Amino acid sequence: MAKRRGYHFALLVYFLMCTAQELAASRAGYEYIVEADAWLRLHIVPATWSDARLRCHLEGGVLASPTTTAIATAMSAMMADSKMTTRFVFIGVHALISKGDFMSLDGVPLANLSIRWREWEPNNVKNNEDCVTIDGAGEANDVSCDSPHPYFCRKETAKMTVNKCGTTADGYKLEPRTGSCYKLHRLARNWHRAAMACHAEEAHLAVINSNLESQVLKEIFAAVPNNVIKSGDPNFAFVGVWDWNEHGEWLTVFGESLPEAGFDGWSPNEPNNAGGQEFCGSIKRDGLLNDYPCLIRLPFICEITPK
Ligand SMILES: [Ca+2]
Ligand SMILES: [Ca+2]
Ligand SMILES: [Ca+2]
């Protein structure tokens, strides 16, 4: 009997260990590659090379290349396991800086990468193939940077620690009054790029759900004075309000009307659609809403709403 109990206990320990390992092996879409001590994420939604590079960068990583045999092997395995409908993925190898001189974003020379060119490649079709894809066998092809492909991001283990806001991104602070975490990005981006930056940090552009949250955002903005904003107009910050291209109706990034979301306090004389191009939502330093051109870059505030 005691023997059987011991056996059951061993089984339970084994099960718990497997579960723990599984949890440790997958985080924020990334899988841990033991042999490389690195984390890889396969983004299966195709993007242009530039957008892929930016997305990985905003996630705190780099558009990955098969820098070692271990990573090349892991990439092939992840591509085989994925639901991708295409055979090719972008890697971080490019010749955008000096035409014809392929290099990796990781700083590894092409000759040392674990890839080989497919037959007849690189062929620089129409003098427009400055980016590189690999297929499941790791064979490389130079391709146009503008046609979208899935891609791999890579993060170092040191950047994978989950903080109490539930993200691996730094700079988020829990605000007890609303229960949300916030981060003000001082480097300005246009509204859609700002939304992308928040999403890359497992957050969303801040949605104001109460007068109190408006006050909280006002204080967060006030804590970053004009001269600390790195670019863009320091008196505005993008938030999660958009007209969804239906000019005149303002909704949150979750599609709720502002009264439904719980806050529709516009700054005096706003929304004024100044210049006829103000279709994205920001706050002024008074914490109240203002319409602003989507394509002009502003600092912005991301929010992580507790689950
Ligand atoms: Ca080619
Ligand atoms: Ca909120
Ligand atoms: Ca305005």
pTM of the model: 0.89
**Nearest ligand atom owner, CA of 88:** 1
Instruction: Decide whether 30-156 matches 163-304 in CATH topology.
Output: yes
| Residue 253, both tokens | 């990034």
Can you list the alpha helix ranges (DSSP code H) found in 120-225? 191-200, 211-222
* Surface-to-core class of residue 158, CB atoms within 10 Å of its CB (0-12 exposed, 13-18 middle, 19+ buried): exposed
Instruction: Quote the ligand 2 centre to 204 CA distance (angstroms).
Output: 9
Can you give the pLDDT of all 307 residues of the chain as single tens digits? 444 555 555 544 444 444 444 444 688 899 999 998 999 999 999 999 999 999 999 999 999 999 999 999 999 999 999 988 788 999 999 999 999 899 999 878 888 888 899 999 999 999 999 999 999 999 999 999 999 999 999 999 999 999 999 999 999 999 999 999 999 999 999 999 999 999 999 999 999 999 999 999 999 999 999 999 989 999 999 999 999 999 989 999 999 999 999 999 999 999 999 999 999 999 999 999 999 999 999 999 999 997 7
One-letter amino acid of 233: D
Query: Per-domain residue ranges for the chain?
Result: 30-156, 163-304
Per DSSP, the three-state class of 143 is: strand
**Nearest ligand atom owner, CA of 205:** 2
292: phi then psi, degrees, rounded to nearest 5:
-150, 150
User: Domain 163-304 classified CATH 3.30.470.10?
Assistant: no
* Phi-psi domain of 209 (left: phi exceeds 0; alpha: psi -120 through 50; beta: other): alpha
Q: In CATH, what number does 30-156 get?
A: 3.10.100.10
Instruction: Quote the ligand 1 centre to 63 CA distance (angstroms).
Output: 20
Instruction: Quote the ligand 2 centre to 49 CA distance (angstroms).
Output: 33
